[in-house]
Amino acid sequence: MSGPEPGPVPSGPSAAEPVIRLDGVSKQYWPGPVDAVKDVSLDVREGEILTLLGPSGCGKSTTLRLVAGFEIPDAGEIRVGGRLAAGPRAWIPPEKRGVGMVFQDYALFPHLTVGENVMFGLDRLPRSQRPSRAREVLGIVDLAPFFDRYPHELSGGQKQRVALARAIAPRPVLVLMDEPFSNLDAHLRDQVRDEVVGILRETGVTCVFVSHDQRDALAISDRVAVMNRGRIEQVGTPREIYKHPESIFVATFVGRTNLLAGVVQNEDGCVLTDFGSFCRVDRLGMPNGSQVLVAVRPDGFEATAGGGLRGRILTTLYTGAHVEAEVAIPSAHGGDRKLIVHLPPSRGYQPGETVELRLDPDFASVVRNACHSLGFGSASATSPVANSSASASPVAAGP
């Protein structure tokens, strides 16, 4: 694609501008066509760590490649560092966007030393200054003594930090990281993740991660953009995404969720479900009588000595931090409905036991975008849905 000759790479956007702005960006692949990215709009703020989260094939890596300049959008505009990088009449090539990239497989040159790998991206810097800059960033990632080592002499975590050092060495406007922890062993994953995030916080670099791992996304991000089938379903803080999902997909993809079909009862936020009335639920201003879907996280329930929702434990799974239990609750229509709940690990809960549950309303909210599209009564093994046309006593809720 031709376009105007780009100017020099800026140090960053003005205070009023986001570092990245995507406006109605779409990308199709052929044959098909396959809509990899559909009408995506997103701002990323200076110094922010944002994660594009979603399953394989949802469009998150394509979105990252569009920002980097490795793909050309079919529609929409992309601004990077305050400049129009891609659009109907503009194109800035990847090497002139001021973007650092960290790939899933590190992409280190095996025949170059660690220092030479870091210096590889410093072609805009005078040759005499490149070694000192490389040593500086290797010091930031705590690898200064490894300047003369080769990649094959490093652990996976060390390779990841070298790749990050190479990405931040040219002082980019932002850093893009595509599934950066997926190749690490489980026991190293959390450690390297925490180290990388610490480096990003220390340097103040704006960063966009791509991940399919909900745990990573919730742990590292200022905000999370959940993608599904090429579209962004919800953008919010990790707490907002987890506690207040706005679609059925977000509710079920990000952690385990109980989905309860219900009807808004009164101004106090009570929602009548097949399990009774859940009160003080965030019902998003829905009027009385509205059919809604309530998402309740498993950790929104706690065992109580009495006055709660009584059920029978069907299965238990000990995780260390909690016991994940499937609990059968008698339905007002006959038979049982199932809830997934987290119980304290200090007590040895066993299948067949009776347990009483109290709901923390902070973990229950109406799924905003499900109210007009839900087929009430549908269910899945991981996200049970209760029929809403029930009459039962209120469910005990915490203060």
Residues 231 and 321 placed together within one structural domain of the fold = no
| Residue 385 falls inside a structural domain | no
Predicted pLDDT at 364 = 86
Residues spanned by the domain of 235: 20-242
Nearest to 173 by CA among 363, 381, 18, 57: 18
Instruction: Report the pLDDT value the prediction gives residue 16, as an integer from 0 to 100.
Output: 64
pLDDT band with cut points at 50, 70 and 90 for residue 47: very high
Note the pLDDT of residue 277: 78
- Taking the CA of residue 359 as centre, how many other CA atoms within 13 Å lie in the half-sphere pointing to its CB? 27
What pLDDT is attached to residue 164? 96
Residue 167, φ and ψ in degrees, nearest 5: -70, -35
* Cβ neighbours around 257 below 10 Å, total: 23
Q: What is the pLDDT of residues 64-104, one digit of tens each?
A: 999 999 999 999 999 999 999 999 999 999 999 999 999 98
Mean pLDDT of 301-325: 92
Question: Is 280 within the bounds of a domain?
Answer: yes
Residues comprising the chain, all counted: 399
Identify residue 227 by its one-letter amino acid code: M
* pLDDT value of position 58: 98
Residues 60 and 168 in one domain: yes
One domain for residues 317 and 226: no
DSSP 3-state helix, strand, coil percentages of the chain (rounded to 5)?
25, 30, 45
- Rounded Cα distance between 393 and 388, Å, is 14
Query: Number of structural domains, the chain?
Result: 2
In degrees rounded to 5, what are phi and psi of residue 153?
-90, 5
Tokens, residue 48:
């922010």
CATH code for position 85: 3.40.50.300
| CA 178 – CA 169 distance, rounded (Å) | 18
One domain for residues 78 and 212? yes
Whole-number Å distance between alpha carbons of 12 and 329: 56
pTM, to two decimals: 0.87
Mean pLDDT of 371-377: 47
| Average pLDDT over the chain, rounded to an integer | 87
Q: In the chain, which residue ranges form alpha helices assigned H by DSSP?
A: 60-68, 114-119, 130-140, 156-168, 186-203, 214-220, 238-243, 248-253
Residues 186 and 154 in one domain: yes
Using one digit for the tens of pLDDT, what is the confidence trace for 150-179? 999 999 999 999 999 999 999 999 999 999
Q: Does one domain contain both 265 and 232? A: no
Sequence-distant (≥ 6) Cβ neighbours of residue 127 within 8 angstroms: none
CATH number of the structural domain spanning residue 313: 2.40.50.140
Structure-block tokens of residue 352: 């067949």
Give CA–CA dist 133/40, Å, rounded: 37
